[in-house]
Amino acid sequence: MVLSLPELLLLGGGERKLTACVLLLLLELFLEGAEVEASSADIENHLELGKRFLANNQLSDALTHYHAAVEGDPSNYLTLFKRGTIYLALAKTRFAIQDFSQVLELKPDFTAARIQRGTVYMKSGEFTEAAQDFEYVLQLEPYNEVVIESQSRLPPAHEQWEIVQELMDQGDYRNAIPLLTQLLEIAPWSIRFRQARSDAYILTDDLLSAISDLRSVNRLSQDSTDGYYQLAKLLYRVGHATNALKEIRECLRLDPEHKDCFPFYKRLRKVEKSLTSAEQSRDEKQYEQCITSALTALKHENDEPMIIFEAKRLLCTCYTRDEQYTKALSHCKDALVILRDAQVYCDRGDAYIGAEMYDDAIHDFQEALNIDENLQRAKEGLDRAKKQQKRAERRDYYAILGVKRDASKQEIHKAYRKAAQKWHPDNFQGDEKKVAEKKFIDIAAAKEVLTDPEKRRQFDNGQDPLDPEGQQGGFQHGGQPFAHFHHGSPFQFKFHFN
């Protein structure tokens, strides 16, 4: 007998309570069934969307939907297998192996999953585990050519790894590198092999190759603070401060209190900020600020050669463009001692032109072309230096002393004393001394010509009385420029300035 709701309400207290419990039970069963039905529909929807994204090669989006499908039904081995293949395509080998292993727990005879797991093991350099999976498959499919071929590669690879370890122990890193390269053709996802080759590259001073391998190690391991620290240190050693800062921040993202990353970060941040500021100022033609920032970088770092090179390179450029040629030459030289760089040679060539040292400028632009024969800046600089040299063959002695063409002999002597005092070579050292010598030679020549009435007359008539081709016995290129003043050292003048 089925009762209507009004009839149920008219029942006695005890009967009403019993009926209410039955209704609640029925309602719970109904909702549970609807929930299962809805959940099943959601899973199918996620699988369909995942399939569509997979077809469009949108792997990350496909992975999101397969995640949801696995959460909805973790016992569906096919869904797990599909998610594992996406992990594999994304080179997330650890998660791929987890999914394939879970599939094989649910269905041990699913050979496709076992072949995939064996392949991942092989490409990860886990040769023993790979061999076990391949042997299991061959028991079921003894003529599987793909598995037979993969299985045949494992014993030689295993032996080669043992040879590599012996070479590394013996310090024979150069011979270990090509063997590791061969191993990585079989096992490109092996953290162990890439780390070993990176170490070998470091010990043979091939830092750029080591950096490339360490980047791969970090991508494969994903959460290695030590990997990020090593990579940051290497990038800093080759002078890439900004890239080093990015890597050290990744280390601190994983461990803000890391014992190595945190102190290195504090120093690196100061250096990188100074170098970045110097580069920005250079690009904005704010050369004084460029110089200040580069000098600040050198205060924070005075040990790492390539960081010093970056700072010196910037000082070479900015002093040159600020027309402080003697200081530019000093910093250019320091940079070139660390690294022969075509652009630095061009900067120094420009500084030599500014200092009217055309032979040296021609030499530097030629050196730049020896490094990079297609460098247009060097070609243009070489042409400019030669033209300037030709134009400067006839010196303007009035301009050298900074006097007017009608200056009196007294004014010429006064200008000479002032210029000679400023540019006397004893006041300079290094490359600055070389510039000063050139200036001092020109000053002395200007004084000789302009204080001698006959020579001054010749000069005013368009002839250089000190031109070697003029047979005046004047300065000879490459000779002793002060030979006609006195015998002995050219820089033993004694000046009495009032």
CATH code of the domain in which 135 resides: 1.25.40.10
Check pLDDT > 50 for residue 312.
yes
- 347: domain CATH number? 1.25.40
Kindly state the average pLDDT of the residues 397-409.
82
Return mean pLDDT, the chain.
84
| pLDDT of 30 | 44
Q: Is residue 481 part of a domain?
A: no
> Between helices 77-89 and 59-72, what is the axis angle to 10°?
150
Query: Same domain, yes or no, for 192 and 298?
Result: yes
Which run of H or of E encompasses 10?
A: helix 5-10
Residue that finishes a domain, picked among 152, 181, 204: 152
> Considering only CA atoms, which of 351, 493, 481 is closest in space to residue 424?
493
Higher pLDDT, 441 or 292: 292
The end-to-end CA distance of the chain, in Å, is 135
By CB neighbour count within 10 A (0-12 exposed, 13-18 middle, 19+ buried), where does 345 fall? buried
Q: Is residue 488 part of a domain?
A: no
Structure confidence at residue 28 (pLDDT): 52
* pTM for the predicted model, two decimal places: 0.69
Expressed as residue numbers, the domain containing 130 is: 40-152
- Between CA 494 and CA 489 the distance in angstroms is 12
pLDDT at 495 over 60: no
Residues 287 and 277: beta-carbon distance below 8 Å: no
Selection from 332, 325, 384, 376 nearest residue 358 by Cα: 384
What is the spatial distance between Cα 264 and Cα 226, in angstroms, rounded to a whole number? Answer: 13
Give whole-number Cα distances, 203 to 178, 180, 194, in Å.
14, 15, 14
Q: Are residues 70 and 173 in the same domain?
A: no
Total domain count, the chain: 4
Asked if the structure places residue 293 within a domain, the reply is yes
CA distances to 66, 418, 427, 448, 491 from 437, rounded to whole Å, are 78, 15, 10, 16, 9
Same domain, 423 and 351: no
Q: Which among 371, 394, 417 is the end of a domain? A: 394
In a domain, 2, yes or no: no
pLDDT for res 384: 93
Determine the Cα–Cα distance for residues 121 and 98; give it in Å rounded to an integer.
Answer: 12
CATH number at 412 reads: 1.10.287.110
Q: What's the rounded mean pLDDT across residues 244-271?
A: 94
3 state DSSP class of 278: helix
pLDDT tens for 204-238 read 999 999 999 999 999 888 778 999 999 999 999 99
140-163: per-residue pLDDT in tens? 999 999 999 999 999 999 999 999
140 and 79 in a common domain: yes
Phi then psi dihedrals of residue 155, to 5 deg: -60, -45
Residues 267 and 314 in one domain: yes
Q: Please tell me whether residues 452 and 350 are part of one structural domain.
A: no
Does residue 316 belong to any structural domain of this protein?
Answer: yes
- Answer positive or negative: Cα dihedral of 282, 284, 285, 289: negative
48-69 pLDDT, tens digit per residue, is 887 888 888 888 887 888 888 8
pLDDT confidence band for 457 (50 / 70 / 90): confident
What confidence category does residue 468 fall into, taking pLDDT thresholds of 50, 70 and 90?
low
Query: Same domain, yes or no, for 214 and 177?
Result: yes
> Are 216 and 310 part of one and the same domain?
yes
Mean pLDDT value of segment 414-422? 87
439 and 413 inside one domain: yes
Residues 177 and 311 in one domain: yes
Residue 280 counted as domain residue:
yes
pLDDT tens figures, 79-121? 888 898 888 888 888 898 999 999 899 999 999 999 999 999 9
Is the pLDDT confidence value at 187 over 50? Answer: yes
Q: Is 51 contained in some domain? A: yes
Residue 16: inside a domain: no
- Same structural domain for residues 366 and 445? no
Cβ(100)–Cβ(117) under 8 Å? yes
Task: Indicate the pLDDT class of residue 26, thresholds 50, 70 and 90.
Answer: very low
In the prediction, which pLDDT does 18 show?
47
Question: pLDDT above 90 covers what percent of the chain?
Answer: 55
Give yes or no for residue 8 having a pLDDT over 60: no
pLDDT in tens, 340-359: 999 999 999 999 999 889 99
Measured between alpha carbons, how far is residue 237 from residues 142, 171, 261, 269, 307 in Å? 53, 22, 15, 15, 7
3-state secondary structure of 92: coil
- Shared domain for 172 and 292, answered yes or no, is yes
Position 437 scores a pLDDT of 84
**469 band by pLDDT with thresholds 50, 70 and 90:** low
